[in-house]
Structure 1
Amino acid sequence: MLHKITSLTVRDVRFPTSLEQHGSDAMHTDPDYSVAYVVLDTDCGLKGFGLTFTVGKGTEIVVCAVEAVAGLVVGKSLQEIVSDFRGFYRLLTSDGQMRWLGPEKGVIHLAIAAVLNAVWDLWARAEGKPLWKLLVDMDPKQIVSCIDFRYITDALTEEEAVEILVKAQEGKQRREEHMLKEGYPAYTTSCAWLGYSDQLLKQLCTDALKSGWTKFKVKVGADLEDDKRRCRLMRQMIGPDNTLMIDANQRWDVAEAISWVSSLAEFKPLWVEEPTSPDDILGHAAISKALAPLGIGVATGEQCHNRVMFKQFLQASALQFVQIDSCRLGSVNENLAVLLMAHKFQVPVCPHAGGVGLCELVQHLILFDYICVSGSLGNRMCEYVDHLHEHFTSPVVIHDAHYMPPKDPGYSCEMLESSVQSHQYPEGDVQVKNDNAV
């Protein structure tokens, strides 16, 4: 556990997903899935790998932010960090000058997430466990000691968090065995990106149904009549009994969202995702209230800045599904806070995973949530997209539309060095279609 961190390197890695419209939605019409990829070297040879997700242009800005915080990490030992993980989290997020760039939001927070993801990966590797198992095996008080409770004690105290985790000890072993055998339920977004043709949508739905998928999400928000047509097509393809969700990616104003989604209610969506600005808590509350009689919930969180925003969403009853993200929030530390708050407010967690590496990371968090926090699979599922897994040393394993728990030590962040080199921007052999330098 001494493992002194001797260096931090970060690289800009981009994949040309826009060429085939993978990931396209009403607001991000031509994304190139990308990461700021962090590697921590230690004096004993053990490495930690971390990343944060972007959609292409601007990744170099995140790289600069990672380099700006590197001095707070290099020279520290793993033991020094994890023995006071709350203090280390606060060191990164509360630097007297750099916090002005956030605080705890935007590019600086994405950078801190990448660094902390690498630290958690290093810790799990040092213990010889996959990250989810590292968390599951922790004492409740140790888990809570990793969380910064500043600004959220009016919603969740440290004592309440310990109590939730202690209470969930009952049945924990049985739930872990269930996950190892059956896996965690997933839904797919890969069939209906906004830029996909009807023919491709039909083919992908047909293939997904044959593979056991029962929960599907379709992108909406560009054109109402086109949305009706595509939702009708999706519902015809998947049948009346399978689950459908719709995702607007922040396209509408509040009144527009209520009207637009009401027009799509006939297709029985379980939720509408990101109907308006991700910062508009009261707007989400108004939409939630208006759509409740239609049986449609509101889901959001993939661009929710931090635990304080999630606290207010929960306090305002502004969402019915919490969507954590393994790179938008401050890594595992901050996600633990959100998982515990969501449980207290009795709102199910259904993580966001649309992007390169996000499936690999967030599977660990949702396994921990089921085994050690919620103890429930009711109305819960984790997003899956079938893109770019081949670039990771420990890619996700999906069996019968379920995430199977990772077995390799670490946080599943490590990418193949050959993939990193070939897709590094702007030096690599594989380039995104446009010159994306800001």
Structure 2
Amino acid sequence: MLHKILDVTVRDVRFPTSLEQHGSDAMHTDPDYSAAYVILHTDCGLKGFGFTFTLGKGTEIVVCAVKALAPLLVGKTLQEIVSDFGGFYRLLTSDGQMRWLGPEKGVIHMATAAVLNAVWDLWARAEGKPLWKLLVDMDPRQIVSCIDFRYIMDVLTEEEALALLVKAREGRRQREDQMLREGYPAYTTSCAWLGYTDQQLKQLCTDALWSGWTRFKVKVGADLQDDIRRCRLIREMIGPENIMMIDANQRWDVAEAIRWVGNLAEFKPLWIEEPTSPDDILGHAAISKALAPLGIGVATGEQCHNRVMFKQLLQASALQFVQIDGCRLGSVNENLAVLLMAHKFQVPVCPHTGGVGLCEIMQHLILFDYICVSADLSNRMCEFVDHLHEHFTSPVVIQNACYMPPKDPGYSCEMLESSVKTHEFPEGEMWKAAHEEMSLIHK
């Protein structure tokens, strides 16, 4: 079958997570986990599903960007696209007029991710494999052909990428079997959102410990004394043997970050995540250098625009943990480039998940990274947030605080149609009810 793409539809889907402070941090105090949800319709009836993650307001802008990119896909067959996937990626990001809106960053790049996530989902479904398995079974040359090496060849050439992938083939089957048995290590962010009460923190930590969690992330950055109190509470709850990370979500200037984290060093955090502007490469380098004597690394990447910025962060030794994101970068294609660069620099990859659907898609990339690139689990783990999985047809499976490899064909992007209809903005039943309630309050 040709799997010719006949149409691209996109819907604005929002979940009111702000009502219970899920996802709250020092910079994003009232997030409504949302998605620009894309469906590719083909001539044979097979569909591809994809999305990009947002926080509510502005999702309509991403929807408009997806609609602007759609004509570049309509009429093409899946085979046309994937036979030169790197070339198609460049085509999608190099439209002579639309690239001015980026290039390869911001809303237009998030829309690119949504569209390409749907293409990868369609490809995996057509092959009858989960996305991670599609990648694992690919020949290294085919993997390399999916990557646009423009702007990163001073750090990673096609020949180097191929050599890294070929070298990692040794032991690949054993690592795949290991993942199928044991799963990929995860850490939880669900226990310590900034808006949670102390009672919530204690109860969630107790429940998580009982369920086998040993790695915990704490949101910080709004108030130093409160951070000290909350970090002490969490550390006392989880004990000295378990791992703690802290996350400021870009709250500080460089010098402020160094001072603030110094005051939290007694709680032995493994890393400080997003300590300053995600665009400040030299600032991250300065923070990394200052915190190294304290044994605290810097993690960043969830709002890193593209592979070029990751290249520079790695060149500048500005981060000790790479946090890729399946909806901020240009889908799997660009994430493959970053995985390979991180491996060359020997910096562990610990993806960002957080928002709606990110756990579902990022599990595929970490499995590929371990099985076919890094062959190493040292200091590697993937974030897990226990929210909204019930809205997906193939939700993540966590066992013993590990991601178990998904078995269903595709990229795990498909939402339940009932959930989409209920939460589509602004006409979904949930949003209509919320609007009516607000209207009554203001009368």
TM range (shorter): over 0.9
SS at 1:430's partner residue?
helix
TM-score, normalization by structure 2 = 0.98
Q: Distance in 2 between the 1:160 and 1:18 partners? A: 45
Matched residues in 2 for 1:66 and 1:45: separation?
A: 21
**Pairing of 1:2-13 with structure 2 (within 5 A):** 2-13=2-13
- CA distance in 1: counterparts of 2:356 and 2:348, whole angstroms: 24
Q: What pairs up with 1:289-308 in 2 under 5 angstroms?
A: 289-308=289-308
Structure 2 residue 29 is matched with structure 1 residue 29: yes
Name the amino acid aligned to 2:303.
Q
> Hey, what does 1:235 align to over in structure 2?
235
Q: Aligned with 1:352: secondary structure?
A: coil
What SS does the aligned partner of 2:119 have? helix
Partner of 1:204: 204
Q: Secondary structure at the match of 1:264?
A: helix
| Equivalent residue, structure 2, for 1:386 | 386
The one-letter code of the counterpart of 1:352 is H
Question: Which residues of 2 match residues 261-276 of structure 1 at below 5 A?
Answer: 261-276=261-276
Q: CA deviation at 1:430?
A: 1.1
Q: Report the AA paired with residue 126 of structure 2.
A: A
Corresponding residue number in structure 2 for 1:61: 61
* Count of aligned positions: 436
Which letter does structure 2 place at the counterpart of 1:330? G
Partner residue, 2:345: 345
Q: Distance in 1 between matches of 2:128 and 2:310?
A: 32
State percent identity of aligned pairs. 84
Q: Deviations over 1:213-269 (max 9, x none)?
A: 000000000000000000000000000000000000000000000000000000000
Q: Distance in 2 between matches of 1:196 and 1:263?
A: 22
5 Å-filtered alignment, 1:17-416, equals 17-416=17-416
TM-score normalised by L of structure 1: 0.99
Aligned-partner Cα distance in 2 for 1:223–1:79: 53
Letter in 1 for 2:381: M
Runs of 4+ in 1 over 3 A off after TM superposition: 432-436
Q: Over residues 133-157 of structure 1, what are the superposed CA-to-partner deviations in whole Å (9 max), with x where a residue is unaligned? A: 0000000000000000000000100
Secondary structure of 1:319's counterpart equals coil
The aligned counterpart of 1:420 is 420
Q: 1:158–1:398: structure 2 CA closer, same or farther, 3 Å change rule?
A: same
Per-residue displacement from partner, 1:109-135 (whole Å, max 9, x unpaired)?
Answer: 000100000000000000000000000
State how far apart, in whole Å, the 1-side matches of 2:84 and 2:260 are.
48
CA distance in 1, matches of 2:410, 2:332: 13
Point out where structure 1 has 5 or more consecutive residues left out of the alignment.
Answer: none
Residue 441 of structure 2 is matched in structure 1 by none
- In the alignment, structure 2 segments of 5+ residues that lack a partner are 439-443
Helix, strand or coil at the partner of 1:6: strand
| Alpha-carbon distance, 1:2 to partner | 1.1
Distance 2:346 2:155 in 1: 13
How big is the shift at 1:283? 0.1
- How far 1:431 moved relative to its partner? 2.1
How far apart, in 1, do the equivalents of 2:288 and 2:362 lie? 26
CA RMSD of aligned residues (A): 1.1
Q: Secondary structure at the match of 1:191?
A: coil
